[in-house]
Structure 1
């Protein structure tokens, strides 16, 4: 019985670690999504620009004039990269969720193994 309780404790700790890992992954995905929204906003601003208007890029404490085509290309590249990162992040989250479900099943099995043993000893104690 002590073995089952020790196993249950270990499974519970693993489950909590997976929950923390999932939370970290979700937080990272939210940050990536925020970056995506910011770049989409920049892309929309580029669409509103009229010919001949200037684009400036912040580089440290300095604003540098940038070519419109170059700036649009940079934002497009960022959006592609962010899209790939979102896909990777979502895959990672799904993987962690699957591990959590598996661990949850293991915990339920361990608890089921603990209950009959506890129930049998409880009945024996009543009969005695």
Structure 2
């Protein structure tokens, strides 16, 4: 392997590209965590609503907030809506977990390639300084 300045510059350019790709993956992971946090909060809220709905008897009045207006809603319909919402949020959380796992795998791969490039650059520069 030639330890020419051109080879070192090429490796440094590759290193910069890999580091930028790693940075983008880390931003995607942070975004994933943020979205996951929001869904987790929504899931908790909906589970609380479901528990409250289960405490009611069939004759109870249930109201749904639509814009600035409270609209009367059937208890069974409200129950079904909340269950569907919980199901949807749970599916989204599962999807986000899968995406997060993929991103973490990519991040680990990029970290390894960045480390290898750094080692190659150091070894080339060390070889050049001995000449």
TM-score between both structures, scaled by the size of structure 1: 0.93
Contact 2:58/2:75 (CA < 8 Å) preserved in 1?
no
What residue number does 2:110 align with?
Answer: 103
Unmatched 5+ residue regions in structure 2?
A: 1-7
Cα displacement (A) at 1:51? 4.0
Deviations 1:71-91 (A, max 9, x none): 000000111111110100110
Unmatched 5+ residue regions in structure 1?
A: none
Cα displacement (A) at 1:116? 1.0
Q: CA RMSD in A?
A: 0.9
Counterpart mapping for 1:47-126 below 5 A: 47-124=54-131
TM-score between both structures, scaled by the size of structure 2: 0.91
What residue number does 1:41 align with?
Answer: 48
Aligned positions, number: 124
